[in-house]
Structure 1
Amino acid sequence: MLLRTIDESRPRVQLIVDGATVEAFEGETVAACLLRHDMAVTRLTPSGRKRGPYCLMGACFECVVEIDGKANVQACLTAVCDGMSIRRGLP
């Protein structure tokens, strides 16, 4: 596991990531959730290189995903919500 939360007693929510149900802690970012679940690759470049959360503060745009049908959302700046649907840019 790459990241661990300090307070695992926080309420949990359910997300759908690429069709699979994933559990997240209320208030954490989408990027933190993806990293914790070993789903760090969020997209591929046109040349096929893997990209994912890098700076975790919104400066690099490497972590963009589709959330609830909206494309190019920065996972590091977006808090999870129960029932959120996330699609990573992977084939």
Structure 2
Amino acid sequence: MMRITDHPVLGPLNKKQVTIQFNGIAYVGLENDSIAATLLANGIRTLRHSEKGNEPRGIYCGIGHCYECRVTVNGKRSVRACITPVEDKMIVESQGFQS
């Protein structure tokens, strides 16, 4: 997992670990982090593919305005990954077309 765990000013990172599933693969995240931050920390940059052109999409604005990071969470479509906190045993799936 790519993450700063001991910051020189903020100190050590003391958050509970959670496990989520993204497209059938388990990943470790930190409690209260966003889905997007958790996936990015695990090296996942593509969250979905566009409806037109099947182009990869990921984190763009990071504050919930652009909808580029839409994923399906526990069966609910079009959840914005950048503003939705992870929960233990959460099931996240890509949206759109994939090759």
Is TM more than 0.5 here? yes
Counterpart-to-counterpart distance in 2, 1:10 and 1:60: 28
Write out per-residue CA displacement over residues 39-86 of structure 1, whole angstroms, 9 at most, x where no aligned residue: 111111120211111111001100000000000000011000001000
Counterpart-to-counterpart distance in 2, 1:71 and 1:26: 22
Contact conserved, 1:3 with 1:32, CA < 8 A, in 2? no
RMSD of aligned alpha carbons? 1.8
Counterpart-to-counterpart distance in 2, 1:24 and 1:82: 9
* Alignment correspondent of 1:11: 16
Partner AA of 1:50 in structure 2: P
Give the percent of matched residue pairs that are identical in Structure 1 and Structure 2: 31
Unaligned runs of 5+ residues in structure 1 are: none
- Which range is displaced more, 42-51 or 62-71? 42-51
The structure with the largest alpha-carbon Rg is 2
Unaligned runs of 5+ residues in structure 2 are: none
The total of aligned residue pairs comes to 91
Contact conserved, 1:4 with 1:36, CA < 8 A, in 2? no
* Alignment correspondent of 1:47: 53
TM-score (norm 2): 0.82
TM-score (norm 1): 0.89
Task: Give the 4+ runs in structure 1 shifted more than 2 A.
Answer: 1-9
Cα–Cα, structure 1 residues 48 and 2, in superposed 2: closer, same or farther, change >3 Å? Answer: farther
